Homo-oligomer: A and B are copies of this chain.
Amino acid sequence: MSCESDLTQELRELGFRVTPQRRVILHILLHANGHLTPSEVFALAQESLPGLMETTVYRTLEFLVQTGLAQAAFGSNGKRAYEISDEHHHHLICRQCGKEIEIPHVQLDSLYASLEASTQFKLVHNHITFLGLCAECQ
């Protein structure tokens, strides 16, 4: 009974298949603290699963986002990073020095509520990256 078993369970219940590839990638994401880029995930995953293709990593990460098990963040540069997080949050990055601050989602709750009211959309809690200049760099 490995540590990602509750997530694979969830996958199966949603009607998706649980493959070694998905298991390994989930495991990696669970043990990473913070974001990982697809190539970082690939490098780590290949250690446990030598035949793994980078393509599969890309597809799996995107798949996990679709199913809601992982979140994707697009950095200021548009580079991707993925993570699994129970506590939903966003980021504020300093454009000058790159310092990164975590913004808990509660701070956006009222915005989300008002957007949902005005647009009739049901918002998905996707990761948002705000950009700015930190106190020192201003």
Chain A residues within 8 Å of B, Cβ to Cβ: 72, 74, 76, 78, 80, 92, 94-95, 101, 103, 107-108, 110-111, 114-116, 118-124, 126, 128, 130-135, 138
Closest residue of B by beta carbon distance from A118? B107
Instruction: Say yes or no: B138 contacts A115, CB within 8 Å.
Output: no
Instruction: Say yes or no: A101 contacts B119, CB within 8 Å.
Output: yes
Give A44 to B108 CA distance when docked, in angstroms.
Answer: 39
Instruction: Say yes or no: A121 contacts B111, CB within 8 Å.
Output: no
Instruction: Say yes or no: B124 contacts A132, CB within 8 Å.
Output: yes
Q: List 18 A-B contacts (CB under 8 A).
A: A78-B80, A92-B121, A101-B119, A103-B115, A107-B115, A108-B111, A115-B130, A119-B134, A120-B134, A120-B135, A121-B135, A122-B132, A123-B130, A123-B131, A123-B132, A124-B133, A126-B131, A128-B130
